[in-house]
Chain A
Amino acid sequence: MTTVAVKPATMAQALTRALRDAMAADPAVHVLGEDVGTLGGVFRITDGLAAEFGADRCTDTPLAEAGILGTAVGMAMYGLRPVVEMQFDAFAYPAFEQVVSHVTKMRNRTRGKLPLPLTIRIPYGGGIGGVEHHSDSSEAYYMATPGLHVVTPATVADAYGLLRASIASDDPVVFLEPKRLYWSKDTWNPEEPTSVEPMGRAVVRRSGRSATLITYGPSLAVCMEAAEAARAEGWDLEVVDLRSLVPFDDETVCASVRRTGRAVVVHESGSFGGPGGEIAARVTERCFHHLEAPVLRVAGFDIPYPPPMLERHHLPGVDRILDAVGRLQWEAES
């Protein structure tokens, strides 16, 4: 029996590797954005790509997000597979019209004649002490826009696998990178092939019987920590990592909630009009007779993203999750 030495690698390295492998595998894959070339991106995700593949394949663009995405649309029309970088979550908003009016509609308005295989990489979320406009969780806007896939990895292996799957997709994908996980490590060997699964499957990260924590991206690690802490309270929590917000994996989520009878949705973005409301509604519609308590949400407050010195009060933490889990003892209270 042989053992493979597993090297710890960061999510950032996995993303770089995914871009490099995708570019090497398919000459149609082009990377473009502000600072992606010589600098290698402000988070160094595109590091080395311009040197290896040339400035025509990894292109520093003028500083204009609508222009970056708009030109990527035209490039995709001519048979390329552009991967654009929106430097920070809130910097992507100028490109939102291109997302809503063209990127998501081109296949539909042409009855499938003009699909747009392009990937929009957006570092998102808080927890890194960023100043205003550098920590938004904008997933609800993208989820509400038909024609778009919305995925977000929470592990190093998923960062690689989901990004490869996104680039291979014949449809536009918003690929949300939880920037506070860029430097996180788990057991992933960058030298070994990693499975590239189709998008749209959630995964159970931790099995449990008492309740299900439904989460994704930056909140997965917090939920895993909460689940460990909950053992002391006698709660055996299951944790579901959605990985894909669109399409949504009702099957995996509902199977879990039917087993546990209780659910809490955890995410950073605000709760009003946020992803948690949609998820709670879906779970309630499908699992009502299995539920022992209302589906609860632990989310960011409904405020503009706070200044960095206060963000820890806004972001869902272990205590707030455990508090919600405590409130799931609905029968006893009512």
Chain B
Amino acid sequence: MTVMEQRGAYRPTPPPAWQPRTDPAPLLPDTEPYRVLGTKAADRADTELLRTLYARLVRGRRYNAQATALTKQGRLAVYPSSTGQEACEIAAALALQERDWLFPSYRDTLAVVSRGVDPVEALTLLRGDWHTGYDPYEHRVAPLSTPLATQLPHAVGLAHAARLKGDDVVALAMVGDGGTSEGDFHEALNFAAVWRAPVVFLVQNNGFAISVPLDKQTAAPSLAHKAVGYGMPGRLVDGNDAAAVHEVLSDAVRHARAGGGPTLVEAVTYRVEAHTNADDATRYRGDAEVETWRRHDPVELLERELTERGLLDEDGIRAAREDAETMAADLRARMNQDPELNPLDLFDHVYAEPTPQLREQRAQLSAELAAEAESETGSASGPQEGGHR
């Protein structure tokens, strides 16, 4: 008997023919993004919801404009505008119940504000006076996440923990098209599907990861297709159609709450402004493309639908704009106040109890501040002597 024949004897019997555990067909997204506005589906849309969405969209657009203006005045270090993407932000947040959680990325300020967070507190990260200005537990909004996709596993863990505790809480995790290339995106989707965690992943595909277009980001037919490999449904929706986003997200949230597990939703939208005020978008895309998308504007789409249905008139439009102006004026006024900062706060929340090393460093900064204050007082009382600094 040869060695190979001997070894053959130890070979286990071949496994039965491999069977996919789930029929992928119901998981696959449609080839065209789902739309409501301008289609027959709009007939059954909740008119009150459409009106609410419109008012919020107008406010969101104004918020983006105001925040962008504040960067030019030096009041914000940076602002990643979501102009053109307001429908995704607002309709998604409105699909959640109060007890649900939102896990935003850095561009999702409007979703954060839609959850009830104070517009000024939502901007502290970008103003630079503190990293997270709001209490995450007050409105169940996680801190805005700057690293890409790293907040997605947090959403999975929280949703999983809630289910273990018997709470029917759903987590909505937001990410951009670029973020889908990150390892954490994969790990989060995989964990969520294996644990059947009540999570909804919303990819806002706005065409570019800073300057890199989608065709250099992925070879997948769509980002929603990525869901199939994890064993969760993928849905494709027109991200500029607030009614469609709301419907698809609401379905996904309901599905998750009922124990059906996660869904991956890709909302196809467009970032009309540059990545941030530090970006030059003319280097990587032409005006014609931007103009095409401007004609598919989320605010105008909804305004047209409501107007054509007789649900909105000139007075209604004016009222929505005035409401947005009031919000912007308040935001402007409060953002133009200098925040009061205490440098010693730097040491307060590194640990529950500061280490001996931090106590020493706090004392050092405290002494430096005292010396600074003394020298300022000294120069104020005797400016002619000056030069203490």
On A, residues with C-beta under 8 Å from B are 30, 56, 61-62, 64, 66-67, 69-80, 82, 94, 97-98, 101-102, 105-115, 146-147, 149, 169-171, 200, 246-251
> Is B305 on the interface with A (CB-CB < 8 A)?
no
CA distance A104 to B256 in the complex (A): 30
Whether B187 contacts A62 by the Cβ 8 Å rule is yes
Whether A80 contacts B136 by the Cβ 8 Å rule is no
Q: Which residues of B contact A71 (CB under 8 A)?
A: 153-154, 156-157, 160, 188, 191
Q: Separation in Å of the B187 CB from the closest CB of chain A?
A: 3
Whether B158 contacts A75 by the Cβ 8 Å rule is yes
Q: Which residues of A contact B143 (CB under 8 A)?
A: 106, 109-110, 114
CA distance A104 to B187 in the complex (A): 20
Q: Which of B151, B183, B352 contacts A170 (CB 8 A)?
A: B352
Most buried by B among A79, A98, A108, A249: A108
Most buried by B among A61, A64, A250: A64
Measured as residues with beta carbon below 8 angstroms from the partner, the interface class of chain B is 35 or more
Q: Which residues of B contact A108 (CB under 8 A)?
A: 131, 349-350
Q: Which of A73, A106, A248, A251 contacts B153 (CB 8 A)?
A: A73
CA distance A56 to B196 in the complex (A): 13
Whether A64 contacts B191 by the Cβ 8 Å rule is yes
Whether A101 contacts B150 by the Cβ 8 Å rule is yes
Whether A94 contacts B183 by the Cβ 8 Å rule is yes
> Is B165 on the interface with A (CB-CB < 8 A)?
yes
Render B321-365 as a binary contact track against A, CB cut-off 8 A, 1 for contact. 000000000000000000000000100111110011100000000
Render B143-165 as a binary contact track against A, CB cut-off 8 A, 1 for contact. 10101001111111111111011
> Is B142 on the interface with A (CB-CB < 8 A)?
yes
Whether A74 contacts B155 by the Cβ 8 Å rule is yes
Q: Which residues of A contact B161 (CB under 8 A)?
A: 74-75, 77-80
CA distance A66 to B150 in the complex (A): 9
Q: Which of A67, A112, A170 contacts B348 (CB 8 A)?
A: A112
The 4 closest A-B pairs by CB, nearest first: A74-B157, A70-B153, A67-B187, A71-B157
Q: Which of B153, B345, B357 contacts A67 (CB 8 A)?
A: B153
Q: Which of A74, A110, A149, A250 contacts B159 (CB 8 A)?
A: A74
Q: Which of A66, A109, A200 contacts B131 (CB 8 A)?
A: A109
Interface of B is mostly: helix
> Is B300 on the interface with A (CB-CB < 8 A)?
no
> Is B49 on the interface with A (CB-CB < 8 A)?
no
Q: Separation in Å of the B161 CB from the closest CB of chain A?
A: 4
> Is B65 on the interface with A (CB-CB < 8 A)?
no
> Is B45 on the interface with A (CB-CB < 8 A)?
no
CA distance A113 to B348 in the complex (A): 12
Q: Which residues of B contact A171 (CB under 8 A)?
A: 351-352
B354 and chain A: residue at smallest CB distance: A247
CA distance A251 to B350 in the complex (A): 21
Q: Separation in Å of the A26 CB from the closest CB of chain B?
A: 14
Most buried by A among B130, B151, B157, B356: B157
Whether B162 contacts A78 by the Cβ 8 Å rule is yes
- The answer to whether A74 and B154 touch (CB under 8 A), given A64-B191, A247-B357, is yes
Whether B152 contacts A146 by the Cβ 8 Å rule is no
Q: Separation in Å of the B268 CB from the closest CB of chain A?
A: 27
Q: Which residues of B contact A149 (CB under 8 A)?
A: 351
Render B175-200 as a binary contact track against A, CB cut-off 8 A, 1 for contact. 00000000110011011001000000
Q: Which of B137, B171, B191 contacts A114 (CB 8 A)?
A: B137
Q: Separation in Å of the B200 CB from the closest CB of chain A?
A: 14
Q: Which residues of B contact A69 (CB under 8 A)?
A: 153
A109 and chain B: residue at smallest CB distance: B131
Whether B190 contacts A67 by the Cβ 8 Å rule is yes
Most buried by A among B151, B156, B187: B187
CA distance A108 to B351 in the complex (A): 8
Please provide the chain B residues from 62 to 116 with a CB less than 8 Å away from any CB of chain A in the complex.
none
> Is B132 on the interface with A (CB-CB < 8 A)?
yes
B187 and chain A: residue at smallest CB distance: A67
Q: Which residues of B contact A73 (CB under 8 A)?
A: 153-154, 157
Whether B348 contacts A64 by the Cβ 8 Å rule is no
**19 residue pairs from A and B, CB less than 8 Å apart:** A64-B187, A66-B184, A71-B153, A73-B157, A74-B154, A74-B156, A74-B158, A77-B154, A77-B161, A79-B161, A97-B147, A98-B150, A109-B130, A114-B137, A146-B350, A149-B351, A171-B352, A246-B355, A250-B357
Whether A77 contacts B348 by the Cβ 8 Å rule is no
Q: Which residues of A contact B151 (CB under 8 A)?
A: 102
**Extra contacts besides A78-B162, A115-B352 (19): CB < 8 Å:** A62-B194, A66-B153, A70-B157, A71-B154, A73-B153, A73-B157, A74-B154, A74-B156, A74-B159, A77-B154, A79-B161, A79-B165, A102-B154, A105-B131, A110-B136, A110-B349, A146-B350, A247-B357, A249-B356
Q: Which residues of B contact A113 (CB under 8 A)?
A: 135-137
Q: Which of B131, B135, B157, B349 contacts A72 (CB 8 A)?
A: B157
Q: Separation in Å of the B350 CB from the closest CB of chain A?
A: 6
CA distance A106 to B156 in the complex (A): 17
CA distance A61 to B345 in the complex (A): 38
Q: Which residues of A contact B131 (CB under 8 A)?
A: 105, 108-110
CA distance A71 to B162 in the complex (A): 12
B143 and chain A: residue at smallest CB distance: A109
A104 and chain B: residue at smallest CB distance: B350
Q: Which residues of A contact B188 (CB under 8 A)?
A: 67, 70-71
Q: Which residues of B contact A200 (CB under 8 A)?
A: 355-356
Q: Which residues of B contact A146 (CB under 8 A)?
A: 350
Q: Which residues of A contact B187 (CB under 8 A)?
A: 62, 64, 66-67, 70
Q: Which residues of A contact B136 (CB under 8 A)?
A: 77, 110, 113-114
Q: Separation in Å of the A173 CB from the closest CB of chain B?
A: 11
A74 and chain B: residue at smallest CB distance: B157
A246 and chain B: residue at smallest CB distance: B355
CA distance A250 to B147 in the complex (A): 35
Whether B357 contacts A248 by the Cβ 8 Å rule is yes
Q: Which residues of B contact A109 (CB under 8 A)?
A: 130-132, 143
Whether B135 contacts A102 by the Cβ 8 Å rule is no
Q: Which residues of A contact B349 (CB under 8 A)?
A: 107-108, 110-112
CA distance A170 to B349 in the complex (A): 12
Q: Separation in Å of the B6 CB from the closest CB of chain A?
A: 29
Q: Which residues of B contact A56 (CB under 8 A)?
A: 164
Q: Separation in Å of the B213 CB from the closest CB of chain A?
A: 25
Whether B160 contacts A74 by the Cβ 8 Å rule is yes
